[in-house]
Amino acid sequence: MTRPVVLFVSQLGAEGSYNPRSFCRMPGGDDETVWMRACLDSLNLLDRIKYRAARIHRGENLPDTEGVDAIILGGSIASVHDGHEWQGRMRGYLRGWRDTGKPFFGICGGHQLASVELGGSVGANPDGVTAGSYPVQRTPAGDRHFLFDGFAPDAPFHWGNYDRVETPPPGSTVLATRPGLPAAAIDHGGNWVSVQFHPEATADLFGAVWAELDPPKAANYRPIPFCERMLANFLAGTGILAP
């Protein structure tokens, strides 16, 4: 039986925009594709999918869409308004991917980039940075949505964002909100979903980053067992894998 190909695209940040040593205790250092592989491995998914990865912020090329079954687009230190060359390439790739009708899952910066590409708007959160492990407020649509299968109504997730989706794309459905975040999770239709929070990340990762940037914020994070299963929900809910 052929295993579906799941592509993870890392867009962590432009060279010089972060200190790589902040991630020196993470597997692979600042190579987010290694983190995602470990996350999928923890879910026992690596023997059910073919994992591919590209670091678009480092100039790596994206594969032909015909050889990919689903995409996960990671977060970014960059704002969607920064205008990096690789952000333009990613948006062009997303336009082609949308035409295929195949599944997409955007995380944090990926959530914002997809929302802008589909006609929504992104801007700075007037309440400032969201940094910590906090719950979402699910909408009625979110309560019924496969992304949240198995999660308690007050389940927390890890957050780390300065910007927010201000206006969701036309025709999309908001699945969850938070104070100051009117579109924290969105179903864009066509098996495209995205979230502002980080179900794939760990408290250690965020703690290490904020310990350098703003030490008091590091204390806002706590371990959240199994929040990464939202990735499995995405693959099952979009039909890539059997539940």
What CA–CA distances, in Å, run from 18 to 21, 60, 76, 90, 98?
Answer: 9, 19, 11, 20, 31
User: Taking residues 90-108, what's their average pLDDT?
Assistant: 97
The answer to the question of residue 27 being in a domain is yes
How many CB atoms neighbour CB 41 within 10 A? Answer: 12
Give the bridge partners for 52, in sequence order.
Answer: 7
Check residue 23 and give its pLDDT. 87
> pLDDT class for 21, splitting at 50, 70, 90?
confident
On whether residue 243 sits in a domain, the answer given is: no
- Whether the pLDDT of residue 221 is over 80: the answer is yes
Residue type, 221: Y
Q: What's the token pair of residue 55?
A: 């670091």
State the CATH number of the domain containing residue 126. 3.40.50.880
Confidence grade of residue 113 (pLDDT, cut at 50, 70, 90): very high
pLDDT at 36: 98
> How many distinct structural domains can be found in the chain?
1
- Given a cut of 90, is residue 110 above it in pLDDT? yes
Chain segment 40-74, per-residue pLDDT in tens: 999 999 999 999 999 999 999 999 999 999 999 99
Residue 110 in any domain: the answer is yes
Domain that holds residue 44: 5-237
Residue 83 lies in a domain: yes
Report DSSP letters for 180-231, one per residue. Answer: TEEEEEEEEETTEEEESSBTT--HHHHHHHHHHH-HHHHTT----TTTTHHH
**Residue 240: band (very low, low, confident or very high) from pLDDT cuts 50, 70, 90:** very high
Q: Could you tell me if 17 and 77 are in contact, meaning their C-beta atoms sit under 8 angstroms apart?
A: yes
Domain annotation covers residue 224 = yes
Total-model pTM: 0.96
Mean pLDDT taken over the chain: 95
Q: Evaluate whether 4 touches 52 at the Cβ level (below 8 Å).
A: no
Residue 182 CB-half CA count within 13 A: 14
Residue 90 lies in a domain: yes
User: For position 142, what pLDDT does the model report?
Assistant: 98
The yes-or-no verdict on residue 132 having pLDDT over 80 is yes
- Is residue 242 domain-resident? no
Output phi, psi for 110, to 5 deg.
Answer: -65, -35
